A = this chain, B = another copy of it.
Amino acid sequence: MGLVPAAPAHPFRLEGSGDGKEVVILGAGLAGMAAAYELDKLGYRCTILEARERTGGRCWSVRKGATNEETGGGLHTAGFDAGQYFNAGPSRIPHHHGLTLHYCKELSVPIQVYNNVNENTYYYSEGKGPLSNKKVRVREAHSDVRGWMAELLAKAMDGGKIDVEMSKEDTLKVIEYLRAEGGLDIDKLYKASARRGYSESPGPGDREGKIGEPMTLLAMLQSGLLDPDFYNVAEYTYELQGTLFQAVGGMDRIAAAFEQKVGRLIRMGSEVRHIRNLEKGVQVGYKDKTGEKTMQADLCICTIPLPVLSNIDHNFSSDASRAIDSIVYMSTGKIGLQFKRRFWEEDEGIYGGITHTNNQLTQIFYPSYDYLGGKGILIGYYNFNEKAVATGNLTYEQREQLALEKGSLIHPQYRQEFERSFSVSWHKTKYNMGGWALYSADERQTLYKALLQPDKQVYFAGEHMTYLNAWMAGALESARSVVAALHSRVTGQRFSYPVFGS
């Protein structure tokens, strides 16, 4: 209760000066650029080496002309119309990620609500049980399962079958609550309610509306609608609880805002080849279009994702090296599908939100922007683990075919309205090689801890150095945390960023 502490939502203020110390930062993703932005304010001389010709890393909105390179996949170029985009990386900002919201404010990036839960999207169970291949509205599943569960418990409590250790009066109050929760009738029976929607809408005159027939619990169960494939996946998780936001015009507007501040410090197209702690300072070797280069700096912040760093020559400690080589990243992929018109809105009343399915697509994301507009891009799948590996193993054309074939089961309009696609398989993407770091509880105590302290002159930063994996907040919190640690070392003062290093 009370105020749950949130990340500080204020400008970062540390005392003392970096006094011209040189810091080389590896990677111009959010962590690298945020670190440079804060260090630059403190009087450090920063250089950012970025392998790509763009900033942002995983904070990437795919637009016309965007390119990507996957292992064995060649260069892939987006042919979307001007003005169309989808967020290939993070697409949501939880309201409790105060630091992400703070930087949006500090850097003047407008935000808008990301509409994560939409009761009008679908659960689509392919080839399973009595509800196989039927489009079940989320509201129908929600209302029916709540109804059936509340009925079971209310009847059992009413029949004295539950040991609740409370007075008869309190028990009756719980039963009343269950009636409200489940939409039960006066006899504590679930017989559907307006909550599950109408087969005929209420309207003017004598149009009082007809409530749909409920699905049976057994049918839902047998079709897997109570499996984690569907139920509550997108709603109850702390990070997915509303209010959620997104940057207006694409999440890459956040990266672009940082780039505007630190762009002068970035050497683009500079692929790191080696990182070497020297007795004093650090040496970094990199390759750009003019050839192999080396540079030296007093200190280094390395934000390179670990599966990429694992293939870069370095002289880190054996503990750090083991961690870098061992930590596993999420396999995950998305495809953006551009359509001639927003049929999901026009024909089906779906404005934002997510359709869940048990097939390889896993999810379809509807855009939470440009409502009532003309064209639009759906995220045709957003999948994980084995499903993402299998999808990633397909060619770009095969992924498009898969998305269209499976998606057409849910939206037959796909065939008529489709224009073009662009897919990203993050675990195969050069310079990323994964979605985000995955840790077991054990690994948090061993591998993770080995990277928490700097390896001599090299500090590790990025979402993988936090408990906020996969979130932009991880990159940003990590950046501030490392800046505080580095600045403590340089000034001899003790700057503690909440908990880290304190």
Chain A interface residues toward B at CB < 8 A:
1-7, 9, 95-96, 98, 101, 104-105, 111-113, 115, 117-120, 131, 134-137, 139-140, 143, 145-146, 149, 152-153, 156-157, 161-162, 164, 166, 170, 173-174, 176-178, 180-181, 183, 194-195, 197-209, 212, 215, 217-218, 221-222, 226-228, 231-232, 236-238, 241-243, 245, 346-353, 368, 371-372, 444, 449, 452, 465-468, 474, 477-478, 480-482, 497-501
Contacts and interface: CB of A to CB of B under 8 A. Distances in A.
Contact of A203 (B203, B226, B353, B498): B498
A478 B204 CA distance: 5
A143 to B, nearest CB: 7
A96 B349 CA distance: 6
A199 B5 contact: yes
Contact of A120 (B96, B139, B228, B346): B96
A118 B134 contact: no
Nearest to A347: B3
Contacts of A176: 226
B218 A166 contact: yes
Nearest to A453: B205
A166 to B, nearest CB: 6
Contacts of A477: 203-204
Given A117-B242, A238-B195, A352-B113, A135 B444 contact: no
For the complex of A and B, 3 pairs with smallest distance between CB atoms: A205-B500, A202-B467, A204-B481
A243 B352 contact: yes
A95 B113 contact: no
A202 B243 contact: no
The copy count of this chain in the complex is: 2
A497 B501 CA distance: 69
B497 A111 contact: no
A283 B217 CA distance: 60
B161 A232 contact: no
Nearest to A208: B467
Contacts of A351: 95, 243, 245
A477 B207 CA distance: 11
Contact of A444 (B117, B170, B208, B499): B208
A228 B197 contact: no
Contacts of A349: 4, 6, 9, 95-96, 98
B120 A117 contact: no
A307 B492 CA distance: 76
B118 A242 contact: yes
A198 to B, nearest CB: 6
A481 B174 CA distance: 44
B201 A135 contact: no
A173 to B, nearest CB: 6
A135 to B, nearest CB: 6
